[in-house]
Amino acid sequence: MRQAYRIIPIYTADVSGVCSALYELGGMTVMHDPSGCNSTYNTHDEIRWYDQDSLIFISGLTDIDAIMGNDEKFLRDIEDVAEELKPKFIALASSPIPFMNGTDFPGLARALTAETGIPAFSVPTSGMHDYVYGAGLALSEIARHFTGAAEKRKRKLNLLGVTPLDFGPQPMVDAMKRHLEKYGWEILSTWAMGDTLEDLSHAGEAEVNLVVSSVGIPAANVLREKFGTPFLVGTPVEGYEGEISDALEKAAESFYEAFEYKKENPAEKNGTQISGRQEELWKVTPDQVLYLQKKDSQSSELICSGDDLETIDKTINRADSLFPVPDITLIGEPVTMGSLAAAIEQKCGKKVQLLCPLEITEGLLRWGDEAIRGEEAMEEKLKTARIIVADPLYRPICPESATFYEMPHIAFSGRIYLKNLYNFRKTT
């Protein structure tokens, strides 16, 4: 089918993902674009824009500069601003026009580092990928450039892949951290909300990393390559933290042997090489993805409150028992919604299917889940859905016969439903 959209919007683009991931780290992020990407980012995608300062800039690329390849002006403008504001790093992100022109962003980053003395790197965006791609690669660059060797500390944990695009305002992130702290885990750093670049630089001290959205996978692989730190994939679930904690403890045990091996084999890769290999950056194995594994817990909760799950269960029980599976259809990011699907199945005992419209899905979908490309494909797949849990902007392409539960996703609908987000993504 055609991958075109006429009713529903598309997800936040990769350039906005870069800005969101790096927003709180004290660096300077520059989008090389005429100006459209910046206005879309700050008016729709970034909920922190009016409350928290960040050095997000647009280059103001003109037609003549694009045609003539005037990179000197681009570099000079960045150097002037960097000299005045003294950012901790400079991140360059491409939009469609310089991408099509073949602008050498890695070369520009090296030139900026040489001229300013400030660490600079580029993120290979094009405006043609979704936010997961951009944010994930941005955090992997932070892991590569700003983390150093450190002594491992017991029951220390990093949360990877935390941005408002998937998790909403900071209080929700704080609640997620408290769920793990109840079991004796200390959160060293959260990548990247509520912590500084200095906090993230100590990530190598953690025994284990928890990837809470697909955004965190590249950084997890770089940290594993550099420090031997194992990682698991899954979003913390209220009432289910005990099993998550047990899984983290088992993963931490495997770290020591791998870490000792790396010390004895200094020729092994240090994270620099892996950052250049896309297939390695996004790699996960089934044993790393918690929600792919069967659990025995009878009660769990994620994003939805317990009342929401009970309501869904009652709706299912009232429905015709002969209606074909799945009972519930979820739409959204694979890790957060895959974890929610597993939680609902254990709470309600019903079959849940995830339809994922994002591009990074390999190794993250459960049996029966599907990656969907385009509005028409999604609308066709929803025709037989009984109960749908998704962002409110999906409602127009859902059948009238289906029961629809709203779950706002900032990466899809932006700020529109921000005031209602606590009602749908309750975590306390």
CA distances from 99 to 69, 103, 128, 257 (A): 12, 6, 10, 43
- The predicted structure's pLDDT at residue 234: 92
- The predicted structure's pLDDT at residue 240: 67
Candidates 223, 155, 144, 158; CA nearest to 192 is 158
Q: How far apart are CA 428 and CA 351, in angstroms?
A: 26
- The predicted structure's pLDDT at residue 62: 78
- The predicted structure's pLDDT at residue 318: 46
Q: What is the DSSP string of 379-425?
A: HHHHTT-SEEEE-GGGGGGS-TTSEEEE---HHHHTTTTGGGHHHHS
Tokens 């990548």: give the residue.
191
Query: What is the greatest pairwise CA distance in the chain?
Result: 69
Cα dihedral 407, 411, 416, 418, rounded to 10, equals: 60
Residues in CB range of 190: below 8 A, 6 or more apart:
158, 159, 162, 173, 177, 199
Candidates 130, 111, 46; CA nearest to 122 is 111
Q: How far apart are CA 11 and CA 8, in angstroms?
A: 10
CA distances from 267 to 95, 223, 261 (A): 37, 16, 11
Locate 275 and state its tokens: 């950052």
- DSSP 3-state percent helix, strand, coil across the chain (nearest 5): 45, 15, 40
Neighbours of 139 (CB within 10 A): 31
CA distances from 395 to 11, 132, 332, 372, 406 (A): 16, 23, 14, 16, 8
Which residues share a beta bridge with 388?
329, 404
| Segment (H or E) for 96 | helix 96-101
pTM of the model: 0.87
Phi/psi of residue 198, each to 5°? -65, -40
Neighbours of 59 (CB within 10 A): 22
Asked, as a colleague might, if the bond just before 135 is cis with ω within 30 of 0, I would say no
What is the mean pLDDT for each group of 10 consecutive residues in the chain (428 residues)?
A: 81 94 96 75 86 89 77 91 96 87 91 96 92 97 91 90 94 90 93 94 93 96 93 82 84 65 48 61 93 56 48 48 71 93 83 94 93 93 94 95 94 88 51
